[in-house]
Amino acid sequence: MKRVFIVSLLVIFVVMNSSCGRKKTAVTDSTLSGNLIIFHAGSLSMPFKEIADSFMQIHPNVKVLCEASGSIDAARKITELKRDCDIMASADYSIIDKLLVPQYASRNIQFASNEMAIVYTERSAYADKIDTNNWAGILLRDDVIIGRADPDADPCGYRSVLTLKLAEKNFAAKGTGSIGLAEKIMAKDNRFMRPKEVDLLALLDTRTVDYIFLYRSVAVQHNLKYLTLPRSINLGDPTLNPYYAEVQTDVRGSKPGEKLTMKGEAMVYGVTVLDKAPNRAAAEAFIEYLLSEEGGRKILKAMGQEPVYSSGI
């Protein structure tokens, strides 16, 4: 009986070890290799790090090199600096359409959404008083300092401008706003404008500024307080696109002296594989993982971004 018991244990051990080996083989793929270069929006820093880490576990011979910047600056690295890149992920899908298609890319896949918010900490001036009715008045106070992203470098920057213009329009319709509200707020504290939205987090952490215009997902990822803005101004509702489009702002284009007109539109992120991607096979596999339910979409949702999908161009 003792010998039978020992033999049984050995059989169980061999079966379990074999099963584990098969499982490991099933979830890893060593056929892809090399560096995978991704330029992405600053607001994708945390989710793309986690997505990249998970992807590299599946493809251990691939090294994902992520580089964050404002989305417009990310596109300019390709168009102006001619840097090698496999994937470009933008916080605004239209940047890919305007700056990369058709010369540098053929597809533009829409994969995530977001919304604008006013982000702060418990140490911010009037943190215990700000609400959806009085936020504009509080931001205009002389003893309140605000930060925002540069519209010429980052979609978060021009979306902040569009949000303010929509707010002015919204307040005027209710008879509760002041003429020139957007211009007044945009004229404040411009020394605290930064190239990309995540650069503003350090200013907030050090109490250099009290409030920043930022994406809700970034506030969620960093456990920050944020004021949820009405759908009519937060650029988060696709059904309101005709209303959002009633405001617009100009930003610097890809060439000196060139201007791009950005109209209000619900926030949708885009991603593309560059036509001359050095590692196209790995890039296509990464896109597939990014769009998968148990991969990128699950990670994005956990980090405050609602996944969407449109094959685009």
Any idea where the domains of the chain sit in the sequence? 29-113+269-310, 116-263
The amino acid that residue 231 corresponds to is: R
Helix (H, G, I), strand (E, B) or coil at 172: helix
pLDDT at 13: 43
The enclosing H or E element of 302 equals helix 296-302
Three-class secondary structure of residue 146 per DSSP? strand
What pLDDT is attached to residue 312?
Answer: 62
CATH architecture of 29-113+269-310: 3-Layer(aba) Sandwich (3.40)
Both structure tokens of 293: 């339910």
pLDDT of res. 27: 67
pLDDT of 269 = 97
Query: Do 76 and 254 form a contact (C-beta atoms < 8 A)?
Result: yes
Rg (CA), the chain: 23
pLDDT of residue 176: 65
pLDDT for position 9:
43
* 29-113+269-310 shares its CATH topology with 116-263: yes
Give the pLDDT of residue 106: 96
Strands 307-310 and 87-90: unpaired
Q: CB neighbours of 158 closer than 8 A, spacing ≥ 6?
A: 151, 249, 251, 262
**Cis before residue 155, ω within 30 degrees of 0?**
no
The CATH code of the domain at 116-263 is: 3.40.190.10
Tens of pLDDT along the chain (313 residues)? 445 444 444 444 443 444 334 333 336 888 999 999 999 999 999 999 999 999 999 999 999 999 999 999 999 999 999 999 999 999 999 999 999 999 999 999 999 999 999 999 999 999 999 999 999 999 999 999 999 999 999 999 999 999 999 999 988 887 766 678 999 999 999 999 998 877 899 999 999 999 999 999 999 999 999 999 999 999 999 999 999 999 999 998 767 788 999 999 999 999 999 999 999 999 999 999 999 999 999 999 999 999 998 776 5
